[in-house]
Amino acid sequence: MSDAVLVSTKVNGDVVEFACPTDEVLMDSLRDRAGMNGVKEGCGTGDCGACSVTLDGQLVCSCLVLGVEANGREIGTVEGLTEDGKLHPLQEKFIEHAALQCGICTPGFLVAAKALLDNNANPTETEIRYALAGNLCRCTGYDKIVRAVQATAKDLRKSKKR
C-alpha cells in the first residue's frame, strides 16, 4: 500500500477520510473503507449499475471511478436515501410494488431512479425504461420496477401540489 493517497470526501453528508491505493476503484473504497456495503459489485466494468452512486449529484458507476477521485467531492449512496429514519418514497414504493426479488440490484436502481426523478418529475414509461437501462435486474423482468417508479413519481407530484 506504499502508493496510498489520503482521501477526504463526504459520503451521504458525513466526512469520511481514508488512505486509498491509487488503483483502487471507488466502489471498493466505499465498501471496504467507508462501510457502505449497499454499494454492490455486479460486474466491475460499468455494465450492470449495481454500484451506482452520485458523485457531486451526477449518477456514476462507482466501479469506473477511482477512489482518489472522490477527494473533496460529495458522494450519495443508497444508505443516504433514508431521511430521519423515514424511507424515501422510492424505497416505500419498491417494497409496495414487489419491485425487488433477490434485491442485489435494488440499491443501484433506487439511486438511478432518484437521479431520474430529481431531473424529471413526470417521466413517460419510455423515459423511465431508458433512464434505468444502465441497471441490470435478472429477477423481475423490470415490470414491477417501472410501475414502482411511475407510482412514486405520481405521489411526489401530488405532494408537491399540496
Partner 1 sequence: MAHDNSYTGQKFEVVGNRFLRPDGIDKVTGKARYGADANAPGQLVGLVLRSPHAHAKIKKIDTSKAEKLPGVKAVITSDDLPDLTGGNAGNAHILENCMARGRALYDGHAVAAVAAVDRQTARQALKLIKVSYQKLPHVTDVDEAMAPDAPVIHDWCFTAGLEEKPTKPSNIANRTQMGHGDVDAGFAAADVIIEKSYKTEQTHQGYIEPHACLASVNPDGTSELWVTTQGPFSYRSVCAALLGLDIAKLKVTSSEIGGGFGGKTHVWTEPLALALSRKANRPVKLVMTRDEVFRATGPTASTSVDVKIGATRKGKITAATLELRYQGGAFPGPWAMLACMTGFACYNIENQRSVGWDVIVNRPKVAAYRAPSAPMAAYAVESTMDLVADAIGMDAVDFRLKNVAKEGTQAPYGPIYGPIGIEAALKAVKKHPHMKSRLKKGQGRGVACGFWFNIGGQTCVDLNIGTDGTVNLAVGTVDVGGARSSLAMIAAEELGVGYDDVKVHVADTSSLGHNDTTEGSRGTFSSGMAAIFAARDAIEVLKGRAAKMLDVPVEDIVWEHGEARATGKGHGNLPKLSLKEIAAKSPNTGGPIAGHNEVVADGAGMGFAAHICDLEVDQETGHTEILRYTVVQDAGKAINPDYVEGQFQGAAAQGIGWALNEEYIYGKDGRLQNPGFLDYRIPVCSDLPFIDTKILEIPNPTHPYGIRGVGETSIVPPLGAIGNAIANATGVRMNHVPMSPVRVLDALDQAAQYEEQVSAG
Residues at the interface with partner 1 (CB under 8 A): 1, 21, 23-24, 28, 31, 36-45, 47-48, 50, 77-79, 81-82, 87, 91, 94-96, 98, 100-107, 110, 126, 128-130, 132-147
**Nearer to partner 1 among residue 72 and residue 119 (C-beta):** 119
**Nearer to partner 1 among residue 118 and residue 143 (C-beta):** 143
- How far apart CA 47 and CA 42 sit, in angstroms, is 8
- Helix (H) or strand (E) segment spanning residue 153: helix 143-161
Q: Which residues, in sequence order, are bridge partners of residue 7?
A: 18
**Nearer to partner 1 among residue 28 and residue 162 (C-beta):** 28
Give the distance from CA 144 to its chain's centroid.
18
Least distance CB 157 / partner 1 (angstroms): 21
Least distance CB 74 / partner 1 (angstroms): 18
CA angle 106, 86, 139 (to 5 degrees): 15
- How far apart CA 155 and CA 147 sit, in angstroms, is 12
Least distance CB 62 / partner 1 (angstroms): 13
